[in-house]
Amino acid sequence: MWERWDGVREDGTPFESLNHYSKGAVVSFLHRYVAGIRLLDDAPAYRRLRIEPRPGGGITWAQAEHDTPYGRIESAWRIDGRTLELDVTVPPGTTAEVILPERSSETVTAGRHTFTARLPGP
């Protein structure tokens, strides 16, 4: 992987590729932990997935999408006081295990689903 502090020429063209793994690692973290979209290892190509957002660090909302061979997965959540509202879209032909911060879980099939959870803490 090439790295340069001056990676872009004055005319705007790059010296080398700007598609660095370091940027991909950040996006992966946001999808897997903040939005909570995860592939379950026992099924191919997102046939079974898990949505388990992990709010924290002062973040009050997040939204992510992931295109799979079956369609688009969507996860969007927002915190209002001590309540988390999660909207999930599951593509046709797949199932999702949805795990909320208070650790309740539910398995859902294709479609749009909304969940509400009380956040743990004082």
- Written as one string, the DSSP assignment of 74-118 is EEEEEEETTEEEEEEEE-TT-EEEEE-TTS-EEEE-SEEEEEEEE
**For range 23-46, the mean pLDDT:** 86
- Do residues 117 and 102 touch, judged by C-beta distance below 8 A? yes
Model confidence band, residue 22 (pLDDT cutoffs 50, 70, 90) = low
Domains by residue range for the chain, with CATH: 21-118 (2.60.420.10)
Helix (H, G, I), strand (E, B) or coil at 15: coil
Measure the CA angle with vertex 38, ends 70 and 90; round to 5°.
40
Decide: pTM greater than 0.85. no
- Do residues 51 and 33 touch, judged by C-beta distance below 8 A? no
- Percent of the chain at pLDDT above 90? 61
Question: CA–CA separation, 4 vs 49, rounded Å?
Answer: 38
Q: What pLDDT score was predicted for residue 35?
A: 97
Model confidence pLDDT, tens digit, residues 70-102 = 999 999 999 999 999 999 999 999 999 999 988
Residue with tokens 């046709």: 92
Assess whether pLDDT exceeds 90 at residue 43: no
Helix (H, G, I), strand (E, B) or coil at 1: coil
Which tops the pLDDT comparison, 122 or 92? 92
Model confidence band, residue 16 (pLDDT cutoffs 50, 70, 90) = low
